[in-house]
A = this chain, B = another copy of it.
């Protein structure tokens, strides 16, 4: 059986403007990889309602799971819950279970549950809540879409709440070899190797270091014996390489 597939939709201007460098995508990619869920596409879009709706509808039709980050806080630029509701054609409003979580949290912290904070209890009809052990305001799952916060600590906590609920695949077994030669010198051998092991993914990731070119060759596959066999061939071809 093929592994489940996933996409991520990052919502927010801060990465597109160059202001901040992504962290959530890198975290999610690693987590999904460990669970054998194939992250096949990521899209990053700005805080525009129509764009969020159309991106979400494209991704949820194509992949088994969609993970979103960003836009579910209390401020005016937090429009994700409304966009998700629109994508699914359902109503969105303050929901009692989400409100109860916020009431308890703000009683505990002594802060006021004002109108802005109450916006974080706006949940699309039919969604189930995602627990947020960091700052309480929940994310939610609707259909195959998991809607989570953009603050990395909260995003990571929500991912930890969601992932155990999903069907895992078989994690890819992977091995890599660092070869201090230009890609062009090793390409023919790699191509022959890829042809001999059609069920493996053999990736070649070039780098430049101290003025010299090299490449990390990464062999991935579900069958450990095949990956190991390909690595033996690689080591024979490039005896000077470093695992």
Contacts and interface: CB of A to CB of B under 8 A. Distances in A.
Interface of A: 12-22, 25-26, 28-33, 39-47, 51, 73-77, 111, 114-117, 119-120, 134-135, 150-151, 153-154, 172, 182-188, 190-191, 194, 201-208, 213, 215, 218, 220
A25 B17 contact: no
Nearest to A76: B191
Contacts of A184: 73-74, 111, 114, 116-117, 120
B77 A203 contact: yes
Nearest to A21: B26
14 contacts: A14-B203, A15-B29, A17-B29, A18-B33, A21-B26, A41-B51, A47-B203, A73-B204, A74-B184, A75-B183, A76-B190, A116-B183, A135-B213, A150-B206
Among A44, A77, A135, residue most surrounded by chain B Cβ atoms (within 10 Å): A44
A58 B13 CA distance: 21
Given A25-B22, A73-B183, A220-B17, A116 B207 contact: no
A29 B15 CA distance: 8
Contacts of A183: 73-75, 116
Contacts of A150: 206
Nearest to A26: B21
A18 B22 contact: no
A16 B30 contact: no
Contacts of A135: 208, 213
**Copies of the protein in its oligomer:** 2
A120 B150 CA distance: 39
Contacts of A204: 73, 75-77
Contacts of A47: 203
Nearest to A34: B18
A215 B205 CA distance: 37
Contacts of A115: 188
Contact of A188 (B22, B116, B194): B116
Contact of A42 (B26, B43, B114, B194): B43
Among A13, A45, A51, residue most surrounded by chain B Cβ atoms (within 10 Å): A13
Given A15-B42, A75-B215, A76-B194, 6 more contacts: A14-B203, A18-B30, A43-B44, A47-B203, A76-B187, A116-B184
